[in-house]
Amino acid sequence: MMQISQKGLDLIKKFEGLYLTAYLDPAGIPTIGYGTIRYPNGQKVKLGNEITEQQAEAYLLDECSKFAQKVEKLVTASLNQNQFDALVSFCYNLGDGALGQSTLLKELNKANYLGAANEFPRWNKATVKGKLQVLNGLVKRRAEEKALFESTEIGGTPIEVDTTPSPQEQVTWLEGYRDGDKNVIVAWKGGTTSEVIEIVTLERPNKEDLIAVLQQYPNAIDFRLAPKENDIPKGERISFSGKAQPIISPSTPIPFPGRLLVRGAEGEDVKILQERLRELSYYLETVHGLFDITTDEAVRAFQSDYFGVIEADGKVGEITWSNLWGKPQKITPETRKGKTYLRLTKTKRKDGHGCFILQLEYIKDGKLNDRLEVCSGQPNKQVFRTGKNSKSGSMEPLPEGKWFIHNILWADGKDNYHGKLFAVKGLGPVTVPLSYKEPGTTGRSAIEIHIDWNKTKGSPGTVGCIGVSNVTDYKRLVTWLRETDPRDLYVDWGLGTCPEPS
């Protein structure tokens, strides 16, 4: 199957431009990255969303791969790489429906390449404020696509893309069961000879969790309730709760101030509240002690994650306050192989966004010393592979194997978690780069450990990096790295290729 080359990608990038914060395009559609209007999981982009440059690149490649498949199905004439790139760019901008109904395609499938090329300039109009009008940007874009289509220069090298759908993308229908007081969703692939892809147990009986699970399967077109007499299919159960994991407090929690904090309140207790919300990555503004609209929004976001949307009233009483600080984590110093290193494994639980909850462990002198719950990859790309089988641009979690931990990098000075952010939006204020060591090699690169900075901006997960939930958790990671300077990270997905720790 043909794939777009870097030459084609560069053409698309040139005309789409890179926007890491969602905006309205000329047609009034919320857009982000390089012209993305829907994320890979099928959800529409919303104003206020923010992504990283890595995510923008991955979304672009994912969409181009899908349009490449459409072009191959529509075009029956032979194509060189330049012609193929031009057609993928055309579809990326206008959709494959436009190509499918066009005279351009008719002429092309008659092997009339000159006639097909001459059709490009006709597609220079868009509907703006209800009126169809010529746009200068489209005139220029069609001219460059036509020039590329007619070019006799050697085409670019096709970008290697893994087009195998993730398990979540393979699901075509869903079935609901009851197991005691819990709902169970069975995700199926196929028709009469269906195959179970995933079995998810909902830990809470609320509507928002059910919706969150259904959104994880972008190609599922049907949901059915199983007859009461039917048994739940056998297989591994994945636990799902839209409620965020309990906060682990590294120190003694601050006592409740004794008064209900609501919008309009002022004082030192409001400063403490803002500082704590900032540590948990909900509040990103300056701490000033006034419970304003931004503080209210941060409180509601926190309450939605920990209590549910219905309970998010923006009022901070004793229950909300105590949950903000959580409780210290009790770690049993279990014996591990090897001496001092970090270890990453997968649990059988998913977070509220659809990413598997991963455990990042700190092994000190052969004993489990501490652990964090983290994520990796995009919610609908939760495929865990070996280094050899993991490809660039896949948006999947980092592959299994041994990784080298580089030095901590700061965007705005050592230990400044609330200053300037890295220019690569979404990394936040601090990051730790990783390099793959063994076994063999992998196609993955630019893997880091950073805060999932855009989680509250509508873009949870990463494109392969390890995402730490908040500043509080990242401070614990920094403490590990400074205490013993571990340089080895063992990523073990249970695939049998992770070396033994040393």
Close Cβ partners of 237 (under 8 Å, ≥ 6 residues apart): 184, 199, 200, 201, 348
Q: Which residues pair with 435 in a beta bridge?
A: 404
Maximal CA-CA distance, the chain: 79
Close Cβ partners of 461 (under 8 Å, ≥ 6 residues apart): 353, 355, 375, 376, 377, 378, 379, 452, 455, 467
CA dist 166 and 382 (Å) reads: 7
Q: String of b and e for 32-49 (b: at least 16 CB within 10 Å)?
A: bbbbbeebbbeeebeeeb
CA dist 486 and 151 (Å) reads: 53
Q: Where are the alpha helices (DSSP H) in 49-155?
A: 53-74, 81-94, 96-100, 103-108, 113-117, 136-150
Report in angstroms the alpha-carbon separations of 340 from 57, 142, 209, 232, 441.
35, 58, 39, 43, 24
Q: String of b and e for 112-150 (b: at least 16 CB within 10 Å)?
A: ebeebbebbeebbebeeeeeeeeeeebeebbeebbebbb
The residues carrying an active-site annotation are 16
Q: Which residues pair with 21 in a beta bridge?
A: 50
CA dist 370 and 486 (Å) reads: 14
The first and second tokens of residue 432, run together, are 């730790």
Close Cβ partners of 328 (under 8 Å, ≥ 6 residues apart): 248, 249, 250, 251
Give the strand pairing for 195-202 and 237-240.
parallel
DSSP one-letter string for 264-314: T-BSHHHHHHHHHHHHTTS--S---SB--HHHHHHHHHHHHHHT-GGG--S
143 torsion bin: left (phi>0), alpha (psi -120 to 50), beta (else): alpha
Close Cβ partners of 416 (under 8 Å, ≥ 6 residues apart): 410, 429
CA dist 247 and 255 (Å) reads: 16
DSSP one-letter string for 360-383: EEEEETTEEEEEEEEEES-TT---
